[in-house]
Every structure is written in structure tokens, then in C-alpha cells.
Chain A
Amino acid sequence: MNRAVSVCLALACPLLAQDARQIVEEAQRRGKVNSQRYEGVLEVTAADGKVTRKSWQTTRLGAYGNSKMVIRFLAPAEVKGVALLVVNHPERSSDQWMWTPAIGRDRRIALQDRSTRFFGTDFSFEDLEERDVDQYDYRLTGEEAMDGAPCWRIEARPRQGKSSQYTLTRIWIRKDNYVGAQYENLIKDQPVRRLVQKDIQNIQGIWTARTQEMTDLRRKGRTVLRMEKLEYNLPLKEDDFTIMALRREQ
């Protein structure tokens, strides 16, 4: 009997693993758009309770793992015009550049620097990259409700060749709309960051979390990003996603 159960489980494992990947693939497929634009308000709460606010505009061209994104800060005045270009690649880590208008210079953000916090927020530079389903191995570890919504709980490990500061990511994907409700990033079995996606709405047929809350579990800081004026599938040009474009004033 025990042997039969073991054989069945062994046979079932590939099926379960496939399901995990299929779930992620489906989530990616449902969220796939050709382009995206929104204005975001970023609120950073430090461990001592101090709050800072910034706003930015994000435009993205392309889809998961194969896209380009420009983040341009709108406020406060001291950071207005600072822009970040992220070029995602499916087969390797993204390329990132930053443009600083006050000194008229762009700088490349090195691969090794992706673990650095993104400008004092609780996101790291790596967190801004988009994950492609092929960059990870998945395992379904169970089901759990998040905020009242049933979710699949999946573990994702970076494959060889995918440079990441995280050794493991736990993902909770909602069963009803395949939106990621929560992501928990671990470094060597230690949870270090947790991203909670809330305020999920249907925008142009795409279920989208309009609020993202990232908590740095080590530093006890929290960053909340609220997306406004969110639009999909806009006619954006490739030329707008180059370093030259970064240098152009809005």
C-alpha cells in the first residue's frame, strides 16, 4: 500500500509542478499587455515612522521579460526629471540606466547593484524588473487565503543563469483572477521582502492591483505605490525607450 502511494505521488509530482508553472503562465498571460502607462504616488514609511512622498510616471512597452520601461519622477521638485530606463530580457537580467537632469548625465546601474534599495524605497532595483516565467522553476506548495481570497501558494526558484539576490520567492496567486496577491522574497530561507498587491480592479479587461505595498522585513520599512491614470495598450514608440529619450525633458 505504502509503495503504491509513493509511486502515485512520484507520478503526481511532475503533474503538480506543471500545474504550478501553468498557473504562473496563466497569470502572466492574463496580465500581458503591449504597453502600459500610469502615474504613481510613492509613500515611503521608515522604521522610525518618518514618511516621504514622491510621484512618478511609468511607461512600459512590451510584455513580461521582454519589455522596456521608463520611470520618470514628477515630484518633489528636487527629483523632478530624474528618470530610469529598464530594459528587460527574457534570457538574462535587465539593463538599467538612470538619468539625472541636474548634472546632465546618465549612468548605468550595474548588474551587481540590483540588490541595492531603489532610491530609499523598500523596493530593490531587481524588484523593478519583470519576471518571465522561463526564468524560474516552480513548485506548488498548497493553497491559502489572502485577504479573504483563495490563492495558490507557489515557490519559485531562479534558474541557473538568472542573477538574483533572492534564493526563493513564495507567490500567492488568486484563483479568481490570477492576480498575484502576495510575493515573499527569501534569501537563504530568511524572508527579506514582502510585496502585497491590493485594490485589484479590472482596467481595460486586465485585472490589475492598483496598490502595491512592499515591506522590508529586516529594516522594518514600508513603501506603498498607488497607481493612478492607469492605461494599457497605448501606441508607444520604441524611440521613447532609449537613453536619448531619457535626456529629453517632458
Chain B
Amino acid sequence: MILLRLITWPYVRKHLLRSVLTTAGIVLGVALLVGMQTANRSVLRAFNDTVERIAGKAQLQVSAGDAGFSEEVLERVQSLREIRAAAPVIEAEADPGFPGQGKLLILAVDMTGDRSLREYDFDNADENVIDDPLIFLAQPDSIILTREFAGRNHIAIGGKVAFATMLGRKQFTVRGILKAGGMAQAFGGNLGIMDIYAAQSVFGRGRHFDRIDIGLQEGVSLKQGEAALSAMLGPGFTVEPPSGRGRQFESLLGVYTLAMTASSMFALFIGMFIIYNSFAIAVTQRRGEIGILRALGATRGQIRTLFLGESAVAGLIGSATGAALGLIFARTLTGVSATMLESMFGVAQNVQDISANPGFLLFAMAMGTGTSIVAALVPARNAARIEPIQALQKGRYQVLGAGENRLRRNIALLAAALAVACLPLSAWRPAFFAGILLTLLACLLLTPFLSLELSRLLRRPMKWLRPVEGALAADSLIQAPRRTSATVAALMLSLALVVGQGGVARTSLQSIDEWMNNTLNPDMFVSTTENIASHGARFPTSMQQELESVPGIAEIQPERLPRLQFHGYPVLLLSTELAKLGRRVKRHMISGDEETMNRLASQEKGLILSENLAALVKLRLGDNVELATPTGMLRLPVVGTIRDLSNQMGTIIIERSLYIRYFQDDTVDVFRVYLRPGASQEEVRSRIVERMGRQRHLFVMLNREIRAYVAKVMNQWFGLTYVQVIVSMLVAILGIVNTLTVSISDRRRELGVLRAVGGLRNQIRGTVWMEAGAIGLIGLALGIATGAVTLYYELQAIQHDISGMPFAYEFPWGIVALLVPVILFAACGAAILPAESAVRGSLVEALEYE
């Protein structure tokens, strides 16, 4: 502590800017990690909170995925002696259209019996919740709102709230106000209660419920209850505590969470290089100080502890600042995440507060501090190894020792060779991930050598460009490789991340484009919502005939798209009239013959799997699949695997008649509409809206509008990763500023001499800018090369470990072309302040500097 106070603090004060820049890398890395995790956690917490509040005293919930199940299941459940209460539920979202108020979560229940599970009223007679329960049940336009929502929107009992329903836009009469607290706080207070049977017609549920909430008899354990219900209902139903829904939602978020976490950790990793660079430079600059300390009796251990202590303190300060900043970021990120999740998965969120996890904050701070300490390990070790006599001698020590260089190169080449050797063994996942690490290790170890060689290569063109400034800049890089290589490494890694993400985005968008051309080829789509991922309301099957009678329409294909759990993955079950679909759509076949596949599947003799799902669950053509349905197990062979990008975790496609029979659900999510030749899309749309828009709530979207929507969702998805990329690049740019600052400091005498012999300020500035530009160029070259390699690994990881989606390797030339001017511009921008500091200040002082 004394050493920190007497030795470290004066150094920090003297080089305050550099110290700040050193910690900035940790600050940004931790801020990103905390921000992303907190945003994710907040969204998940909001979801779980809503689930728990709505569940009330329900101990178990019975569901059958998105498909729901027939009403008659309720009586069967109620007949079990283990069951004390069984309350049917429908949940749906409605948009009341109040600006800035978000959506309303409608909880539809049977009020005659729901109170055995949920608290609606209170003993205090002043708090009677429902004005008249009989009128509430007798009138299908009855709704209960929370006091919070009603208050915000100035609605009293007897007031009206309108929203779109399957029967058109309807007004609902508020017949009760739910007191604040408990269930009323679900969905951020945006909760409405309706009668379940009224909700069935309003939301197009037919005679289905979404789930049944269960209260068990006294003395019956959860396990016993689950066992009794599962035995009676069969495998097509999910019986789980309410918290199980949170886990399902979490699995839906899985890919997204993984991507965010990986990118956040990467940013922290890049920040580590900034720390390493700063400490490596500090050790060099403080050699004299170290020599004196050693001469006075300080041990190697004490020297090492001093530098590690400095890094720990810097890391702690940086982490604490980063954590605080991250919580501020989280507020914005939460809203963005929630919107993106609703677009992609159709699950609306109303996140009111961010949910910070103190444990995770401590973890993030520990990560930041730990990263800082790890980054300083090598410089601290080097500092400890300095001999006092050596340290007190003047001279340059920036040159990489030949032996050291050779050792690094050899280890790098060995790592590269091992990485190549791992490639054929990639099917064994540990070998694959070892290959990634070895590749990165090889790139990092080669960075000092390659930086030096590229600096030498750049000397001639730089000198050609500006004879004096260029030569000076290049020489500065060549003579101080230690100063440069860590910064280059940081820039290399961040650019590799950009290239990798850009490559994934490019290939994803291309694949999606190809899939849309082949599969999303109807002229228009008739849907219940603008967000095609959200399926709260559904159309009745009878609507197909109505649509077919609209002039200009050649064919209608109904689609039902519930999500369900299959081998632990949240997959999409797509049911449609496959014979019709087969005539209109050209599939990208992966296995099987297209004609045979369409024929067998349309005859209910098989099912079709998406390529990514088949890879994830390791199913092949001809394998038998068991699908749990509310009416029993559906067993079918795989008659084809196709490229289908409808759902991240995969799609199962079956004939609609089979779905209706097994799931007892004939409702429709989307109608695919094909027009007659010559029919005008706009005119047909108008006819549909005119004929059916008044009695039904529907959206008619043209093909180009659907494509635009999909593109928007994809941009939202990649948009969040671009945020992380920008942060990573900021970290790298900070490194350049740091390096240049140190460079200016080291070369103060040299620059002073230049000015003394007549060098102009602009020429001094020029040399600094050229040095920055050269660092940027070297970083670009290495980053693009590394990115080209890591892109391969990223695509492999996506295919084999995340979603099963196989994407072709497409190098993102467009992004690279954009990166070059951006990085060079950023590098020159990073040089502005250091360049100014190089030309300011006293010339005499500069000449005296040593």
C-alpha cells in the first residue's frame, strides 16, 4: 500500500490521461457486459414476473404449446382427485392505441371459478373489484383493468377501451378496476381481465383454451400432481410449475443471449490488450525507478506485487465505473431488446424497470479486475526480472530480443499447425473449440513479428508519400514494436469481430433472401397482426372460403404456425395444404426427392424437417419421428429435409388435415394468397379489406411488405451486435490514442530537436498522423486476415452448436471496403490530441527531456 501511495500515485498523476485511457478499455468492456446482461435479465425478469403474478396460487400449469387444446380437457383434469382447482386461461395481447402506453395483456378466465387460484377481490367492501359480476359474465364486452392502467389513461368504471379483435375493432366496457399490487402489477400494470368464453370468439380461439392453471389438494405434492396429470393427459401436454414458462422463454432467447454474452466477453478481452500495452510501456518507462527500488532492497516479489497491485486498482476503478455505466446503458438496451424479441418471437414485453443482479455486478467487476490483473501479469513479471544495474543504465529497450521473437514465432507456428490439425477432427467439438483458441493464440503471438515486418514494408511507401514525416513515423514504429504490437492486437481482434459478424450477417441475409424467393412467393399474406411472428389471435377456417370468393384470387393456402418443444428445442410446427404448396413453391432440398416428399407428406404419410432442426436433433431421411399431440403420439417418418429459415431453431412441416385431427385445432394464423395472372395486388387487397375488414381484424400484406418486414427484423437482430462491434472498435481506438500518447512522450526530445532545426508544427503533426494511419493500416491488414479465418469458425459454431443453420462462407467485401476508410479516419482522429500535445509546450523543456 505504501508503495502504491509513494510510487504509483505520483506516476498516475503525472500521466493522468494515459491512466484514464488505460482503464477506459476495462470500463467499456465491463459496461457492455453489464449493459447486455442486465437488459436480457430485465426482459426475462419482466416475463417471469408477469407469469408469476398471473399464476397466483396455481401450482401447476397444463399446456400444449402454442396450439392450445380442446375445452373437454378441462373436465378430464377436474375429475382427478389430486386436483383441488382447475382454471382455464387464454392469454393474448391487444393494442388499445393509447400513445406511449404499450400493449395490454389480456388474461381471459372463467370468473365463476378462477378466484380459487387468483386474488381479485378483498375483504374490505370498499375495494369491491367488479361492479356486478353477473353483468361482467353476461356481457361479452366486459373487461377489468388495473387501477394503474385505468388511472394513466383516465378510464373509470363504465368507461370504454377499444382494440382490434378477430371481429373487427371493438369497444369494451370497464366493469371493474383491479386494486394495485399482486396480479395487477403483471405486465407492468398493463393487464386486462376478460371472460374466457368471450375471449374465445374475440381472439379466434374456437373452443380451445391456452392452458389450465391447477391447484392441488392438500397433501398432494407437485410431483404427484404432475405424475397424475401427465398419466391422464399423455405426452402431448406439458405439465409444469408456472416457472417452467420462464424456462421456455429463456430457451427461446438462448441463441440471442449466447450471441450477446460472447460479444460482450470479446470486448473485455480486447480491453485486456489495452491494459497489457499500457503496463508494458510503463515498465519500460519506469525502468530507472524499478532499478532504484531494487537497489534499495525491494525484492522481485515486491516489484511484481506493485505492478499487479496497480493493475488491480486500475481494474477495480475501471470495473466499478463500467458497471455503473452499464446500468445506464441497460435502460436503453432493454427497450431495444424487448422490441427485437417481440418482432422475432412474437412475445410482447412491457419492461418497466431494469433488473440489476448484484451478484452479476460483482461478477462483472471481478471479471474486469481479473482481466486487468491477467493483462498485467507479463509486464509485472518482466518488471520483476529487471536487474538493478541494467535498469539504471540508459538506453533503448523497446527492441524485441531476437530470441524472444523467435520463441514467439515458433510457438505461433506450432499453434497454427495444431489448429490446422484440429480441422479434420471438428466433428468432435472439443477439438473444434481447441482449434479456435489455437488460431487466436497463433494470431496474437504472431502480431509483434507481423507488426514489425509490416512496419518495415510500409516505410518505403510512407517515405514516398511524405519523405520526412513518413520516414519518422515508420521509424517510430520499427524502433518501438512493444509499444505498437499490443494496440495492433487489440485493433486486429476488434476488426476480426467486425469481419466475422459482417460475414455472418451477409451470408444470413443472402440465405434468407434465397429462401424468401423460393418459399415466401405468394402475392400477399393475410394475417391477424402486422408482426407475423406474433400469433395471439387466429382466423377461423371458414375464412378460407370467403377469401377464395374474392375476385382476382387464384388460390389460398392456410397456414397454422404454433411453437412447441421438440427434443428440448422450441421449434415451429408448420401445417398447411402441402399438395397446393408443392405446386407453387420450389424447395431447396437437402435430402430426399422433392416430388416424393410432397406426395407422401400431403398424403399424411410423412413429415418434413428443416435442415437445421435435422442437424440439431440428428435425424435423417427415413428416420421415425414421434410428435406428442393433445390426442396422442403422432408417429411419422422423415420424408424430406429442406432448407427452411422460418424459425431459428427449426421447423417441422406436416399436412394440415393431420394437424387438425391430432391437435383438434382448425384455426389459421396466416393465409398465403396467390393472384390470378393480371390481377392487381392493390385492388385485390382493397377488396379483401372492404369485404372482411369490418367484421374481422386482419392485415393484408403484399409480398414486398413482408420482405421489408423480415429485413427490418434481421436488421434489429444484427443491430444489437453492431452496437457491440462499435464498442469493441472504440476500445481499439483508445489503444491507438494510448500508444500515440506514449510515443509522443517517449519522443519528446526527438520532436524537440526537429522543431529546433526548423521543423514546422504541421510536419510534426503529420508524423504523428502518419504513425496513427500506419497502425490503423497494420491493424486492418491483420484484422481482415484474422477475420477471414474466424468467420469460418463462427459459421461452423452456428451450424453445429447453436441453431443448426448452415450458412455458406461469404467474405464480407462490402463491409471490409467500408472498414478501410472508417478505420483510417478513426486512427487519424485518434491522433488529433496526441499530435497537438506534440507541438505544444516549451521547446527548451523538450530539448532537456530525458
Q: Are A120 and B130 in contact (CB under 8 A)?
A: yes
Q: How far does the Cβ of A58 sit from chain B's closest Cβ, in whole Å?
A: 15
Residues on B with beta carbons closer than 8 Å to the beta carbon of A112 = 78, 83-86, 113, 116, 215
Q: How far does the Cβ of B256 sit from chain A's closest Cβ, in whole Å?
A: 40
Q: Are A113 and B138 in contact (CB under 8 A)?
A: no
Residue of B nearest to A106 (CB): B197
* One of A126-134, A186-194, A215-223 at the interface: A215-223
Instruction: Decide if B818 is an interface residue (CB 8 Å cutoff).
Output: no
Residues on B with beta carbons closer than 8 Å to the beta carbon of A218 = 123
Q: Are B113 and A79 in contact (CB under 8 A)?
A: no
1/0 per residue B142-155: CB within 8 Å of A?
Answer: 00000000000000
Q: Are B116 and A219 in contact (CB under 8 A)?
A: no
The residue that A108 contacts in the complex, of B75, B84, B125, with Cβ under 8 A, is B75
A46 to B122, alpha carbons, bound, how many Å? 13
Instruction: Decide if B133 is an interface residue (CB 8 Å cutoff).
Output: yes
Q: How far does the Cβ of B208 sit from chain A's closest Cβ, in whole Å?
A: 13
Q: Are B112 and A48 in contact (CB under 8 A)?
A: no
Instruction: Decide if B198 is an interface residue (CB 8 Å cutoff).
Output: yes
1/0 per residue B86-102: CB within 8 Å of A?
Answer: 10000000000000000
Residues on A with beta carbons closer than 8 Å to the beta carbon of B85 = 110, 112-113
Q: How far does the Cβ of B115 sit from chain A's closest Cβ, in whole Å?
A: 6
Q: How far does the Cβ of B804 sit from chain A's closest Cβ, in whole Å?
A: 44
Q: Which of A73, A81, A103 has the most CB of B within 10 A?
A: A103
Q: How far does the Cβ of A187 sit from chain B's closest Cβ, in whole Å?
A: 14
| Those of A78-114 within 8 Å (CB) of chain B | 78-79, 81-82, 98, 100-103, 105, 107-113
A117 to B200, alpha carbons, bound, how many Å? 24
Q: Are B125 and A46 in contact (CB under 8 A)?
A: yes
Q: Are B113 and A221 in contact (CB under 8 A)?
A: no
1/0 per residue B36-78: CB within 8 Å of A?
Answer: 0000000000000000000000000000000000000011001
Q: Are B78 and A119 in contact (CB under 8 A)?
A: no
Instruction: Decide if B135 is an interface residue (CB 8 Å cutoff).
Output: yes
Q: Are B134 and A79 in contact (CB under 8 A)?
A: yes
Q: Are A116 and B197 in contact (CB under 8 A)?
A: no
Residues on B with beta carbons closer than 8 Å to the beta carbon of A46 = 125, 128
Q: Are A102 and B132 in contact (CB under 8 A)?
A: no
Q: Are B137 and A119 in contact (CB under 8 A)?
A: yes
A117 to B130, alpha carbons, bound, how many Å? 12
The residue that A102 contacts in the complex, of B78, B83, B126, B139, with Cβ under 8 A, is B139
A81 to B137, alpha carbons, bound, how many Å? 12
A102-B75 contact, Cβ under 8 Å, with A113-B113, A120-B130, A220-B125: no
Q: Are B137 and A82 in contact (CB under 8 A)?
A: yes
The residue that B125 contacts in the complex, of A47, A105, A111, A115, with Cβ under 8 A, is A47
Instruction: Decide if B806 is an interface residue (CB 8 Å cutoff).
Output: no
Q: Are B138 and A100 in contact (CB under 8 A)?
A: yes
Instruction: Decide if A54 is an interface residue (CB 8 Å cutoff).
Output: yes
A48 to B86, alpha carbons, bound, how many Å? 32
Q: Are A119 and B86 in contact (CB under 8 A)?
A: no
Q: Are A116 and B125 in contact (CB under 8 A)?
A: no
Q: Are B134 and A113 in contact (CB under 8 A)?
A: no
Residues on B with beta carbons closer than 8 Å to the beta carbon of A22 = none
Instruction: Decide if A52 is an interface residue (CB 8 Å cutoff).
Output: yes
Count class of interface residues, chain B? 20 to 34
Residue of B nearest to A108 (CB): B75
Q: Are B138 and A116 in contact (CB under 8 A)?
A: no
Residues on A with beta carbons closer than 8 Å to the beta carbon of B139 = 78, 102
A221-B125 contact, Cβ under 8 Å, with A103-B198, A112-B116, A116-B112: yes
Q: Which of A47, A73, A112, A116 has the most CB of B within 10 A?
A: A112
A115-B116 contact, Cβ under 8 Å, with A82-B137, A103-B140: yes
Residues on A with beta carbons closer than 8 Å to the beta carbon of B198 = 103
A125 to B200, alpha carbons, bound, how many Å? 25
A115 to B125, alpha carbons, bound, how many Å? 19
A105 to B116, alpha carbons, bound, how many Å? 22
1/0 per residue B103-134: CB within 8 Å of A?
Answer: 00000001011011000000101101010111
Count class of interface residues, chain A? 20 to 34
A82-B138 contact, Cβ under 8 Å, with A107-B110, A110-B86, A116-B116: yes
Residues on B with beta carbons closer than 8 Å to the beta carbon of A220 = 125
A169 to B87, alpha carbons, bound, how many Å? 28
Q: Are B78 and A219 in contact (CB under 8 A)?
A: no
A101 to B201, alpha carbons, bound, how many Å? 14
A56 to B756, alpha carbons, bound, how many Å? 109
Q: Are A98 and B112 in contact (CB under 8 A)?
A: yes
Q: How far does the Cβ of B426 sit from chain A's closest Cβ, in whole Å?
A: 57
Q: How far does the Cβ of B493 sit from chain A's closest Cβ, in whole Å?
A: 62
Residue of B nearest to A42 (CB): B134
Q: How far does the Cβ of A11 sit from chain B's closest Cβ, in whole Å?
A: 39
Residue of B nearest to A82 (CB): B138
Q: How far does the Cβ of B209 sit from chain A's closest Cβ, in whole Å?
A: 12
A108 to B85, alpha carbons, bound, how many Å? 14
A110 to B83, alpha carbons, bound, how many Å? 11
Residues on B with beta carbons closer than 8 Å to the beta carbon of A98 = 112, 137
Residue of B nearest to A76 (CB): B135
A81 to B134, alpha carbons, bound, how many Å? 11
Residue of B nearest to A221 (CB): B125
Q: Are A109 and B112 in contact (CB under 8 A)?
A: yes
Q: Are B112 and A120 in contact (CB under 8 A)?
A: no
The residue that A79 contacts in the complex, of B74, B78, B115, B138, with Cβ under 8 A, is B138
Residues on B with beta carbons closer than 8 Å to the beta carbon of A79 = 134-135, 138
Q: Are B197 and A105 in contact (CB under 8 A)?
A: yes
A100 to B200, alpha carbons, bound, how many Å? 14
Residues on B with beta carbons closer than 8 Å to the beta carbon of A105 = 197, 200
Residues on B with beta carbons closer than 8 Å to the beta carbon of A102 = 138-140
A87 to B94, alpha carbons, bound, how many Å? 39
Q: Are B116 and A107 in contact (CB under 8 A)?
A: no
Residue of A nearest to B78 (CB): A110
Q: Are B116 and A100 in contact (CB under 8 A)?
A: no
Residues on A with beta carbons closer than 8 Å to the beta carbon of B134 = 54, 73, 79, 82, 119-120
A78-B135 contact, Cβ under 8 Å, with A46-B125, A103-B197: yes
A111 to B86, alpha carbons, bound, how many Å? 10
Residue of A nearest to B217 (CB): A112
1/0 per residue A26-52: CB within 8 Å of B?
Answer: 000000000000000000001110001
Q: How far does the Cβ of B560 sit from chain A's closest Cβ, in whole Å?
A: 23
Q: How far does the Cβ of A246 sit from chain B's closest Cβ, in whole Å?
A: 14
Residue of B nearest to A115 (CB): B116
Q: Are A219 and B112 in contact (CB under 8 A)?
A: no
Q: Which of B83, B134, B200, B201 has the most CB of A within 10 A?
A: B134
Q: Are A111 and B78 in contact (CB under 8 A)?
A: yes
Q: How far does the Cβ of B4 sit from chain A's closest Cβ, in whole Å?
A: 69
| Those of B382-426 within 8 Å (CB) of chain A | none
A101 to B112, alpha carbons, bound, how many Å? 16
A120-B133 contact, Cβ under 8 Å, with A46-B128, A103-B197, A107-B197: yes
A102 to B137, alpha carbons, bound, how many Å? 9
Residues on B with beta carbons closer than 8 Å to the beta carbon of A82 = 134, 137-138
Q: Are A219 and B115 in contact (CB under 8 A)?
A: no
Residues on B with beta carbons closer than 8 Å to the beta carbon of A119 = 133-134, 137
CB pairs A–B below 8 angstroms (28 shown)? A47-B126, A48-B126, A54-B134, A73-B134, A73-B138, A76-B135, A78-B132, A78-B138, A78-B139, A82-B138, A98-B137, A101-B138, A102-B138, A102-B140, A103-B140, A105-B197, A110-B78, A110-B113, A111-B78, A112-B78, A112-B116, A115-B116, A116-B116, A119-B137, A120-B132, A120-B133, A120-B134, A218-B123
Known: A82-B134, A116-B115. 10 other contacts (CB 8 A): A46-B125, A81-B138, A82-B137, A82-B138, A101-B138, A103-B195, A107-B197, A111-B78, A115-B116, A221-B125
Closest 3 CB pairs of A and B: A47-B125, A113-B113, A119-B134
Binding site for A on B (CB under 8 A): 74-75, 78, 83-86, 110, 112-113, 115-116, 123, 125-126, 128, 130, 132-135, 137-140, 195, 197-198, 200-201, 215
Binding site for B on A (CB under 8 A): 46-48, 52, 54, 73, 76, 78-79, 81-82, 98, 100-103, 105, 107-113, 115-117, 119-120, 125, 218-221
